[in-house]
Amino acid sequence: MASPLKTRKRRGPIAARLLAADAWFDSSLYEIGFEARRFWEAATIFFRRFRVSGWRRGIIELLSEGFTLGAGGIVVMLALALPAFQETAGDWRAQGDFAITFLDRYGNEIGQRGIIQRDSVPVDEMPDQVIKAVLATEDRRFFDHYGIDALGLSRAIFANVRANSVVQGGSSITQQLAKNLFLTNERTLERKVKEAFLALWLEANLSKKEILQLYLDRVYMGGGTFGIEAAADFYFGKSVKDVNLAEAAMLAGLFKAPTKYAPHINLPAARARANVVLSNLVEGGFMSEGQVLQARLNPAEIVDRGEQKSPDYYLDWAFEEVKKIAAKSGQHSLVAHTTFDANIQKAAEESMEFHLRQFGKEYNVTEGAMVVIETNGAVRAIVGGRDYGASQFNRATKALRQSGSSFKPYVYATAMEHGFTPDSVVSGGPISWGAWSPHNYNDGRAGKVTLITAMAKSVNTVPVRLAKNHLGIKPIKAMAEAMGVESPLESHKTMVLGTSGMTVMDQATGYSVFAQNGFVGSRHGITQLVTRTGEVVYDFAKDAPPPHRVLSEQALKSMNTMLAAVPVMGTARRAALPNIVSAGKTGTTQSYRDAWYVGFTGNYTAAVWLGNDDFTPTNNMTGGSLPAMVWQRLMVYAHQNIDLKPIPGLDHPFVDEEIAAKAEEAEKKNAEQAAADTAAERPPVLSSQTTRALRDITRLFQSAPVLQAPATPETLSAL
């Protein structure tokens, strides 16, 4: 065994080296600290030379804070700019090479879409008065600013404050182009921020001439026309290269409100607006009063186009549908036969505008959208907003708005497929799902209720309890998507009460399944695509995939029984139709930002949304108030002079036996005539008796023998 003395001798050199290392580390730290203190003292002494006091110190402090805030502002601006610049990804210059002429369901032309319908005229070839009229009215300092006109914006703000209303716009031509190319007309702060950054981006990437050219080629000019060349042809029957000063002033006046000042709709208003443009030319120094006097004395005359309103929201949607279909055919110049019905479109627009004018201020609501689908899947009308000239954003097909309780039918449909019935009893009492504790409307309490009562009274806790305890979220989401909902749905538990954004088109499509006996896949806006030479490249009846069932007959019967109770004893009594059985569901979102009514009869399905573009709350507007009233007024018109069809699955689909008998007779006659005359469609302005008489007369003419002219001396001599 080694002695302690020998062990200490063996460890001596190791301990010495460790002690040396520790001493070196300690001394190094001391030296570093000492040098740092000495450097800091020297730096302090040096910078004391620049120390200021009094008013100079205040300036230095302000500059220092300014640099700090500026650095932070740059970071914030960069964060805001990134989403805007993402909008420029892709070939944003592409105009698309489709040229489509659209016909309604009866073969009448209703509009055109596609940039090659009208050739673009270079800015250099446009008359001087056209360019001056546009600049004097829209952006007098266009060639002096870099996308955002600070002086013009300040002037507009001052003028608007002084007039206590919006009398001048502050957006430059570059900002307007940025909105037209990349953004929508939604009045949100996010959109305005993006618009400002994109205006700067356009100025950095394009010349002033290119910006002006794109603006004049893309802007909406009323009457279904896009671009100043198309507008000159539509209103004056000539190229923009040939317009005089009075006509140029009228064209420039359309930029502010093309629908309001369209001369074929309101010529006096268009001429008054043109006179304002002439005054702008004088005030802006572009022309003298003597130069514009002749144009004032001789206002522009227009080509008589009638007062037919272009269904632009419908055409925008149909154009997108055509591009999807025609992309496979390789044909780009086509005639599209659509399912559009001008009578129903006019009635839908009238109902929307009537109620917004009457009750818009009371409910603090400014916008609305609507889609009407016939039971055969044909999209008959689309209202994408109140004024296409003011906003080309299609709220019916693009706006994602929370659906509220109008989403509940998808939950109940899933429950019906899982064995529930309208008479199934479920507790409507309070429920918590994790940290989420939903409440009923106005904090109302409900005990055990049947599902039909829960649907009619729109009890919130019942669908939540169904989803939590019996169904789960995935089957509900799958059901909504199977019924035609294309909007991205959240997988969160709150989805069962309609927190996901949905389009009006999606809602109309989904509810039409209930009217179409549980089948989906028949919704369409294009019946045929034909080339200019008459070749059929697409026929919906032959080329579209056949509809398929998504709801069993029992589930459909249960759902329609429950939905038909909503207008009778539930939240949609204002939607009830006289002598016609209807069904549907209301929807109201948090803070009353969105209000819905989606309903159907055996003939039509219509979805109605009302709200505000900037998501501001309405004044306690529910789906059972204004939306139900809009729906009801439209449907009363749409069901005039037509054969009523039953809602599938109802035990009593008609109000009385007389109507039932007439409907049954009409169904038989329609079935007999369908095979012989499937293409014939009756305008709603004709009664069924008149239509049948006209069809009988047509068949008589077609089957009648050809009459030979009697022989005369002249004809005999000719032989």
State pLDDT tens for residues 638-659. Answer: 999 898 999 999 877 776 444 4
Confidence at residue 488, expressed as pLDDT on a 0 to 100 scale: 92
State pLDDT tens for residues 462-474. Answer: 999 999 999 999 9
Measured over the CA atoms of residue 351, residue 354, residue 358 and residue 362, the dihedral's sign is positive
CB 527 within 8 A of CB 325: no
The pLDDT-based confidence of 116 (bands split at 50, 70, 90) is very low
pLDDT of 307 over the 80 cut: no
Confidence at residue 403, expressed as pLDDT on a 0 to 100 scale: 94
Domains in the chain, ordered, with CATH? Answer: 122-306 (1.10.3810.10), 343-669 (3.40.710.10)
CB 468 within 8 A of CB 433: yes
22-26, 204-208, 516-520, 524-528: least confidently modelled range = 22-26
The pLDDT-based confidence of 552 (bands split at 50, 70, 90) is very high
Confidence at residue 173, expressed as pLDDT on a 0 to 100 scale: 85
Q: Which residue has the tokens 């009208």?
A: 118
Confidence at residue 11, expressed as pLDDT on a 0 to 100 scale: 58
What are the φ and ψ backbone dihedral angles of 373, each rounded to 5 degrees?
Answer: -125, 130
> CA angle at residue 9 from 3 to 15, to 5 degrees?
130
Confidence at residue 651, expressed as pLDDT on a 0 to 100 scale: 78
3-state SS class at 287: coil
Instruction: Give the residue among 490, 426, 500 at the shortest CA–CA distance from 463.
Output: 426
State pLDDT tens for residues 447-498. Answer: 788 999 999 998 999 999 999 999 999 999 999 999 999 999 988 889 999 9
pLDDT of 677 over the 60 cut: no
State pLDDT tens for residues 406-426. Answer: 999 999 999 999 999 999 999
State pLDDT tens for residues 184-237. Answer: 666 666 667 777 778 888 888 888 888 899 888 888 888 778 888 888 988 998
CB proximity list for 90: less than 8 A, separation 6 or greater: none
Mean residue pLDDT across the chain: 83
| In the chain, % of residues over pLDDT 90 | 43
Confidence at residue 264, expressed as pLDDT on a 0 to 100 scale: 84
Confidence at residue 618, expressed as pLDDT on a 0 to 100 scale: 95
Confidence at residue 65, expressed as pLDDT on a 0 to 100 scale: 75
State pLDDT tens for residues 40-67. Answer: 888 877 777 667 667 767 777 777 777 7
- The structure tokens listed for 377 are 């899947």
pLDDT of 563 over the 90 cut: yes
CB proximity list for 199: less than 8 A, separation 6 or greater: 147, 148, 172, 174, 175, 177, 178
Find the mean pLDDT for residues 688-699. 67
pLDDT of 7 over the 60 cut: no
Through-space distance between the first and last CA atoms of the chain, rounded to whole angstroms: 152
Instruction: Give the residue among 468, 463, 478, 467 at the shortest CA–CA distance from 409.
Output: 463
CB 404 within 8 A of CB 608: no
More confident residue, 265 or 454: 454
Find the mean pLDDT for residues 148-167. 63
- Pairing mode of beta strands 536-539, 367-374: unpaired
The pLDDT-based confidence of 367 (bands split at 50, 70, 90) is very high
DSSP 259-282: HHH-TTT-HHHHHHHHHHHHHHHH
24-38, 119-133, 169-183, 275-289: least confidently modelled range = 169-183
pTM across the whole model: 0.71
More confident residue, 362 or 221: 362
